[in-house]
């Protein structure tokens, strides 16, 4: 040991080791790593998506039609109930219902399936290394595929009922993309939570049900009292559903605010979901 | 309370950059802790109660060091046999090497592609046919579809399962399953092949073929790590032996010596 006199150099020894100074840099490298991993494992994702789609519809006579049948029956029932019982005299009500319900179905199915995707893939995760991000992503892509297909098919079916083709439909892909980003974020959060706390999966189902009624999907926004309407903007899924309703039902271009709101919510959701998932990714295998 | 998290784990799959003489696998002070909880699942109710009552986190009943202070360097072309009693951490070490478990502390460095044969049929989808499973498994091991399609022939050649190529895997016998898994893992010529007790389940003819194939891999200077209780097979295939006991490597040396020591030790323990 040497003792130093005079102006001493400040003693710089950290214990424990200091964290890398810039959080942003660490996350940048994590994202870059994930990008290369996902490109490497992209064929696995493709394969899992196509296999699961095939297995779902294999051996059932109606196949993909089942995916359509559910919303069709739902829409028929709802239209009847609302027009007969509540006296909604809107011929386009079926179209309105369709515009909100199909995107909502995508969101709710993806989130519910994501909740259990890590647990269900236990066999794979404990036997072979795969980036865990694959599992929620696969669930999203499966649902996204059925969503887009059923959207197209149902739209064609609804043309006789008054669904109109307009230029605003060109914006539909953007709306779908934003909704998919939002859903992926939610899926990541739920997948992480449910692996640690198994109760979450059940809570999610209840929560989604409540959320469905809190969102103007069955009822029309304009039927609510004026002073209540603004509250709907507190509902994070509202801008997304609104986008679809304006594009499909109103047949006009949505205003920029709705777009920006949706994009903002989508990015926040993905950011939070991704961070939560990455922070716990390594521990997932010990909790299976 | 520190939980398991990977610290300084670096992986790269580009084997060409490995300089001559540099180790393919390098483990430094690796430890891995398993924590088991009272009720296995830490429920939301417990978490909420813990939060309200200001208890700290889940109360672990037992902490168990599955691996402690493992230091290991594996150079190109080494074939390593790991011996040890049940629960010594042999399979855990293989899982760590294949990146399934992250270490609690320490650093791992692996250069090159890894094919784990830890549990039979990892990544197989029983609904798919043999042919499709070959492609899927290849993708999981990092081989592109085009490349894998070139290898399909070789795999069916080796396993003799060509007539079952279009049969869903759920109708395969366990022996057929095993043969397919082994053939895929070896056909892709990984830099590092990890085998856990898998040579036992084939018929005699297949075991011989498998051994020949492992030796063939070794001639191309790939690393093979085998965990087995079959001492004769280990002596035949490996040159370096590791003896693990309670999560530590207690001996490292030529396979014959390690196996001899291990057998005398366990025999004296059994008779004592």
Query: Directed axis angle between helix A134-158 and helix A65-80, to 10°?
Result: 60
Higher pLDDT, B210 or A194: A194
> Quick check: A6 pLDDT over 70?
no
**Residue B126, domain member (yes or no):** no
Domain count for chain B, please give it.
1
Residue of A nearest to B91 (CA): A127
Closest in B123, B127, B135 to A128, CB measured? B123
- How many whole angstroms separate alpha carbon B172 and alpha carbon A88? 59
In chain A, residues with a C-beta closer than 8 Å to the C-beta of B13 are 40
Say how far apart CA B141 and CA A43 lie, in whole Å: 11
Q: What is the pLDDT of residue B51?
A: 74
- State the smallest CA–CA distance between residue A29 and chain B in angstroms: 13
Report the pLDDT averaged over residues A232-239: 90
CA quadruple A53, A59, A61, A66: dihedral sign:
negative
CA-CA distances (angstroms) from residue B31 to A198, B35, B201?
A: 28, 13, 32
The predicted pLDDT at position A262 comes to 95
pLDDT band at B15 (very low <50, low <70, confident <90, very high): very low
Per-residue model confidence as pLDDT tens digits over A57-97? 776 667 777 777 877 887 788 778 877 776 666 677 888 88
Q: Interface pTM (ipTM) of the complex?
A: 0.79
State the Cα–Cα distance between residues A286 and A136, nearest whole angstrom. 18
Question: If you write DSSP's letter for every residue of A170-238 in order, what string do you get?
Answer: GGHHHHHHHHHHHHHHHHHHHHHHHHH-TTHHHHHHHHHHHHHHHSTTSS-GGGS-HHHHGGGGGSTTH
Give, for B82, the enclosing helix (H) or strand (E): strand B79-83
A80-A86-A92-A94 Cα dihedral, nearest 10 degrees: -40
Residue of chain B whose Cα is closest to the Cα of A39: B142
Say if the Cβ atoms of B145 and A44 lie within 8 Å: no
Average pLDDT rounded to a whole number, residues B157-163: 87
Residue A113 near residue A120 (C-beta atoms within 8 A): no
A86-91 long-range contacts (CB < 8 A, ≥24 apart) are A90/A220, A91/A161, A91/A162
What the block records as the tokens of A98 is: 């369709």
Residue ranges making up the domain that contains B250: 9-113+190-271
What pLDDT score was predicted for residue A13?
45
Average pLDDT over residues B159-180: 87
Return the biggest CA–CA distance within chain B.
Answer: 64
CB interface of B with A, residues 120-139, below 8 Å: 122-123, 125, 127-128, 132, 135-136, 139
Cα(B138)–Cα(B148) distance, integer angstroms: 6
* Dist. CA B96–CA A41, nearest whole Å: 20
B178-206 mean pLDDT: 80
Q: Which residue would you say has higher pLDDT here, B173 or B39?
A: B173
Phi, psi of A106 (to 5 degrees): -60, -50
Averaged pLDDT, A13-20? 50
pLDDT tier at A142, thresholds 50, 70, 90 = very high
Q: Which residues, at least 6 apart from A269, have a Cβ–Cβ distance to it below 8 Å?
A: A181, A182, A184, A185, A186, A189, A236
CATH at residue B46? 3.40.50.300
- In chain A, the residue whose alpha carbon lies closest to the alpha carbon of B132 is A47
Across the range A125-150, mean pLDDT stands at 91
Calculate mean pLDDT across residues B127-153.
87
Which strand (E) or helix (H) includes residue B73? strand B60-74
Q: Which residues of chain A have a Cβ shorter than 8 Å from any chain B Cβ?
A: 40-41, 43-44, 47, 51, 55, 124-130, 196-200, 203, 282-283, 285-286
Q: What is the pLDDT of residue B231?
A: 87
Residue A260: per-residue pLDDT: 94
pLDDT in tens, B86-107: 888 888 999 898 888 888 888 8
Confidence of residue B161 (pLDDT cuts 50, 70, 90): confident
Of residues B201 and A26, more confidence is placed in A26
Is the CB of B6 less than 8 angstroms away from the CB of A197?
A: no
Please indicate whether, in this complex, the C-beta atoms of A282 and B45 are within 8 angstroms of each other: no
From the list B98, B119, B145, the residue facing A129 with the nearest CB is: B98
Residue B214 distance to chain A (closest CA, Å): 20
User: Is B174 inside a domain boundary?
Assistant: no
Indicate yes or no: CB of A129 within 8 angstroms of CB of B44: no
- Quick one: which H or E segment has residue B101? none
The answer to whether the CB atoms of A199 and B102 lie below 8 A apart is no
Q: How many helices (H) and strands (E) does chain B have?
A: 8, 10
**B123:A127 CB<8 A:** yes
Q: What is the average pLDDT value for chain B, to the nearest integer?
A: 80
pLDDT at A240: 95
The vertex-A180 CA angle with A178 and A183, nearest 5°, equals 110
What is residue B1's predicted lDDT score, i.e. its pLDDT? Answer: 33
8 Å CB contact between A114 and A187? yes
B140 touches chain A (CB under 8 A): yes
Q: Strand pairing of B248-254 and B223-227?
A: unpaired
- Distance (Å) from the C-alpha of residue B66 to the closest C-alpha of chain A? 13
- Cβ–Cβ gap B43/A197 under 8 Å: yes
For residue A39, the chain B residues in CB contact (below 8 A) are none
- Residue B145 within any structural domain of the chain: no
B148 in any annotated domain: no
Residue of A nearest to B148 (CA): A43
Q: Distance (Å) from the C-alpha of residue A43 to the closest C-alpha of chain B?
A: 6
Q: Could you state, in order of their start, the residue ranges of all structural domains in chain A?
A: 42-287
Calculate what percentage of chain A has a pLDDT beyond 70. 90
For B:73-112, CB contacts with A below 8 A are 98-102
pLDDT at A176: 96
pLDDT beyond 90 at B7: no
Q: A199, B44: Cβ pair inside 8 Å?
A: yes
On the question of pLDDT at A288 being above 80, the answer is no
The mean per-residue pLDDT over the stretch B168-191 comes to 86
Pairing of strands B79-83, B105-111: unpaired
């Amino acid at each position: 040991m040497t003792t130093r006199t005079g102006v001493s150099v400040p003693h710089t020894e950290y214990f424990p080791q200091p964290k890398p100074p810039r959080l942003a840099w660490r996350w940048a490298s994590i994202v870059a790593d994930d990008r290369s991993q996902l490109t490497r494992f992209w064929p696995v994702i493709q394969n899992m998506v196509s296999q699961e789609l095939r297995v779902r519809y294999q051996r059932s006579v109606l196949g993909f039609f089942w995916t359509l049948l559910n919303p069709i029956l739902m829409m028929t029932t709802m239209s009847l109930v609302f027009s007969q019982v509540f006296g909604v005299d809107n011929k386009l009500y079926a179209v309105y219902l369709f515009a909100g319900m199909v995107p909502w179905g995508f969101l709710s199915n993806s989130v519910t399936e994501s909740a259990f995707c890590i647990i269900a893939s236990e066999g794979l995760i404990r036997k072979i290394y795969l980036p865990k991000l694959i599992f929620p992503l696969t669930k999203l892509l499966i649902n996204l595929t059925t969503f887009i297909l059923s959207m197209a098919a149902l739209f064609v079916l609804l043309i006789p009922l008054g669904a109109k083709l307009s230029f605003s439909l060109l914006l539909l892909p953007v709306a779908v993309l934003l909704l998919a980003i939002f859903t992926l974020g939610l899926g990541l959060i739920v997948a992480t939570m449910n692996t640690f706390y198994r109760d979450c999966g059940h809570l999610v189902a209840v929560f989604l049900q409540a959320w469905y009624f809190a969102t103007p999907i069955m009822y029309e926004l304009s039927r609510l009292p004026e002073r209540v309407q603004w509250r709907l903007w507190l509902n994070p899924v509202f801008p997304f559903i609104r986008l679809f309703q304006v594009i499909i039902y109103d047949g006009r271009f949505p205003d920029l605010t709705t777009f920006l709101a949706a994009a903002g919510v989508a990015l926040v959701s993905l950011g939070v979901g991704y961070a939560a998932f990455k922070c716990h990714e390594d521990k997932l295998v010990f909790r299976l | 309370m520190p939980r398991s998290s990977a610290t300084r784990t670096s992986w790269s799959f580009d084997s060409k950059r490995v300089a001559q003489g540099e180790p393919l696998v390098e483990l430094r002070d690796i430890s891995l802790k398993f924590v088991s909880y009272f009720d296995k699942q830490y429920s939301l109710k417990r978490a909420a109660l813990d939060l309200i009552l200001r208890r700290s986190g889940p109360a672990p009943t037992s902490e168990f060091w599955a691996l402690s202070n493992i230091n290991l360097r594996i150079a190109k072309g080494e074939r390593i046999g790991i011996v040890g009693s049940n629960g010594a951490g042999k399979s855990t070490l293989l899982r760590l090497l294949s990146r399934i478990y992250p270490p609690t502390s320490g650093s791992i460095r692996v250069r090159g592609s890894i094919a784990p044969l830890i549990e039979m049929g990892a990544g197989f989808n029983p609904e798919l046919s043999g042919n499709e499973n070959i492609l899927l498994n290849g993708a999981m091991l990092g081989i592109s579809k085009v490349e894998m399609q070139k290898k399909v022939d070789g795999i069916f050649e080796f396993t003799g399962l060509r007539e079952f190529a279009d049969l869903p895997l759920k109708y395969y016998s366990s022996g057929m399953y095993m043969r397919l898994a082994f053939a895929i893992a070896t056909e892709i010529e990984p830099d590092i092949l990890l085998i856990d007790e898998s040579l036992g389940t084939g018929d005699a003819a297949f075991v011989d073929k498998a051994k020949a194939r492992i030796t063939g891999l070794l001639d191309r200077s790939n690393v093979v790590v085998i965990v087995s209780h079959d001492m004769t097979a280990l002596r035949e295939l490996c040159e370096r032996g590791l003896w693990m006991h309670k999560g530590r490597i207690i001996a490292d040396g030529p396979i014959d010596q390690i196996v001899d020591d291990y057998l005398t030790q366990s025999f004296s323990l059994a008779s004592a």
